Structure formats: structure tokens, C-alpha cells
């Protein structure tokens, strides 16, 4: 579409300015619009501009995702977080990405433990792709991921019990908190039990 080509030109002509606008957006709707422009012009990563895209925009993505608050209900902030992760998931796993892989992996590991289920699934896809494509570089990062999986399995009985007890009490109390917030509460309780 013409709007998509114009957005691609805008982004291509000045990645640094786009990253600055993204970080300094006055409101969530403006930030959401900027992220949508990037997502819609993602084909730029298949050009010689990929390195410039990463150099300027990856730090902005990293900052927004790592410093932002995970969202457990739908809204503009969740949409921004989700679209940023989708853009990261669609990046080609080639040599241009290699310098950013350690930061991307650590970000996704952090979000895997703290963010909502929808975003965590995208983080898992990114983690799997990074390990598949940069295996020798990431060998020492396999153990933390396996420990995370082990913690999930060890905490599963407590989580299941908590979720079912929450459902029963929520059903008897009438309309309650949304399911995603119940899951968040269960994860927090599980984390407290494991500490």
C-alpha cells in the first residue's frame, strides 16, 4: 500500500529519529502508531538497511520492553509490547543480528518469566530461533533456559491447585477478575512459594 511505502521511506530515511520519537512518544496511541509503522514496513530488514535498523531501533525496543510494565489485560500498552515482540520475532537470524543476540536473548528470558502468556509465547519462539541459529555462541545460555523450564514443571502442581481454587472462589463470588489476572496472581503465588 502507498501508506506502507511512505512509512518505510520515513523509517529508512532516519532510523535514529524514529527511535527517538518512539521513546519520547507523548502518549500510548502515538507510540502504538509508530510501532505499527515499523511492523508494516518490516521488509526493510531484508535490505542493506538491516544493520542501521538494528543499530538504532533495537536499543529503543529493548528499553521499552525491559523498562515497561507487563500488561495482563488488553489495551494500548499491551498492543505496543506485543507488536514490538512480533517485530523482533520477524527479524532475520543472520550475521547482522549476531551482535544483538545476547541482549535479545536476555530480554526474552526476562519477559518469559514476567510478561503475560501471549507475549511469553512470542519470547519462546524468539529464544528457540536464536538457539537454533546461533547455537555455538549461546551454549552457555542453554542452562538458564533449562532451569526456567524445570522451575515451571516443579511449580506446576501448586499453580494448578491455585488456579482451581481461584476458579471455585471466583465462581461463588460471581463475576470476578479476568482470567489473565488470575493467571498472573497464580504465577506470583508460585514465585513466592519457590523463594
Q: What's the Cα-to-Cα distance from 128 to each of 23, 42, 107, 133, 138, rounded to whole Å?
A: 28, 21, 14, 9, 11
Per-residue pLDDT reduced to its tens digit, 93-145: 999 999 999 999 999 999 998 999 999 999 999 998 998 998 877 677 767 77
Place of cell 520515513: 10
Q: How does DSSP assign 76-94, residue by residue?
A: HHHHHHHHHHHHHHTS--S
Listed in sequence order, the residues at least 6 apart from 149 whose beta carbon sits closer than 8 Å to its beta carbon are none
d(CA 86, CA 172) in angstroms, rounded, equals 38
pTM of the model: 0.72
Of 194 and 139, the one with more pLDDT = 139
Q: What is the pLDDT of residue 152?
A: 72
Q: What is the pLDDT of residue 179?
A: 40
Q: What is the pLDDT of residue 117?
A: 92
Angle between helices 50-67 and 15-23 (to 10 degrees): 10
State yes or no: pLDDT of 4 exceeds 70. no
Q: Is 88 exposed, middle or buried (0-12, 13-18, 19+ CB in 10 A)?
A: buried
What average pLDDT does the structure give for the chain?
81
Q: What is the pLDDT of residue 145?
A: 72
Confirm if 90 and 104 have CB atoms less than 8 A apart.
Answer: no
Weakest mean pLDDT among 57-61, 83-87, 151-155:
151-155
State yes or no: pLDDT of 190 exceeds 90. no
d(CA 89, CA 98) in angstroms, rounded, equals 14
Amino acid at each position: 500500500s502507498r501508506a506502507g511505502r511512505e512509512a518505510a521511506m520515513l523509517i529508512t530515511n532516519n532510523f535514529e529519529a524514529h527511535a527517538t520519537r518512539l521513546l519520547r512518544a507523548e502518549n500510548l496511541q502515538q507510540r502504538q502508531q509508530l510501532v505499527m509503522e515499523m511492523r508494516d514496513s518490516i521488509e526493510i530488514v531484508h535490505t542493506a538497511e538491516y544493520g542501521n535498523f538494528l543499530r538504532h531501533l533495537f536499543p529503543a525496543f529493548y528499553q521499552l520492553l525491559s523498562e515497561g510494565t507487563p500488561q495482563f489485560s488488553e489495551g494500548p500498552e499491551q498492543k505496543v509490547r506485543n507488536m514490538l515482540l512480533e517485530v523482533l520475532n520477524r527479524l532475520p537470524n543472520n550475521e547482522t543480528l549476531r551482535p544483538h543476540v545476547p541482549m535479545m536473548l536476555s530480554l526474552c528470558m526476562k519477559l518469559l518469566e514476567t510478561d503475560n502468556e501471549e507475549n511469553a509465547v512470542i519470547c519462546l519462539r524468539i529464544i528457540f530461533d536464536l538457539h537454533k541459529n546461533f547455537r555455538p555462541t549461546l551454549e552457555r545460555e542453554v542452562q538458564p533456559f533449562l532451569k526456567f523450564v524445570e522451575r515451571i514443571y516443579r511449580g506446576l502442581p501448586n499453580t494448578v491447585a491455585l488456579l482451581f481454587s481461584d476458579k471455585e472462589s471466583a465462581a461463588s463470588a460471581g463475576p470476578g477478575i479476568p482470567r489473565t489476572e488470575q493467571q498472573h496472581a497464580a504465577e506470583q503465588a508460585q514465585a513466592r512459594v519457590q523463594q
